[in-house]
């Protein structure tokens, strides 16, 4: 008889390759990656949380409009990095909140630096 357990929603995750050597890069990236989700209606949600392990690095959230352009106030540079390991870590930006968004569809892009994302939840 045996018993195996997993933390909530941690059966599979996304993490960057140890080394990305795409021909379009000037130099290879190590443990750096990003994932962009399909457009979502964010008007009725209060927060975006991630189940992630960023204890060896960081995660930044970025919002793009339906055309793929960065939304002012919600860029990677304006994001507060997530560090550490947690099941419901909230994405946040320095001066903006989801309530500040105009109605419409937005794409969420996560920038990963030595981090693994297991789940994204709209709260």
For the stretch 12-60, pLDDT in tens is: 898 888 888 777 878 888 888 999 999 999 888 999 999 999 999 999 9
Domain of residue 101 covers: 33-122
pLDDT band at 106 (very low <50, low <70, confident <90, very high): very high
Assess if residue 24 is contained within a domain. no
* Number of domains comprising the chain: 1
What pLDDT, in 10s, does the model give residues 83-102? 999 999 999 999 999 999 99
The string of DSSP codes covering 10-46 is -SS-B---S-B--TTSSS-BSSEEEEEPPPEE-TT-S
How many C-beta atoms surround the C-beta of residue 110 within 10 A?
A: 24
In a domain, 1, yes or no: no
Query: Is residue 86 a part of any domain in this protein?
Result: yes
Quote the CA–CA distance of 47 and 108 in Å, as a whole number: 12
Predicted pLDDT at 54: 97
């Amino acid at each position: 008889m045996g018993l195996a357990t997993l933390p909530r929603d941690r059966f599979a995750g996304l993490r960057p390759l140890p080394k990305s050597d795409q021909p379009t890069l000037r130099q290879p990236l190590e443990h750096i990656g990003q994932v962009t989700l399909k457009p979502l209606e964010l008007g009725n949600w209060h927060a975006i949380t991630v189940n992630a392990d960023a204890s060896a690095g960081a995660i930044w959230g970025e919002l793009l409009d339906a055309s793929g352009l960065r939304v002012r106030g919600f860029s990677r540079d304006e994001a507060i990095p997530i560090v550490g390991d947690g099941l419901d870590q909230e994405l946040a930006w320095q001066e903006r909140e989801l309530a500040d968004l105009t109605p419409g569809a937005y794409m969420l892009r996560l920038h990963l630096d030595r981090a693994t994302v297991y789940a994204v939840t709209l709260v």
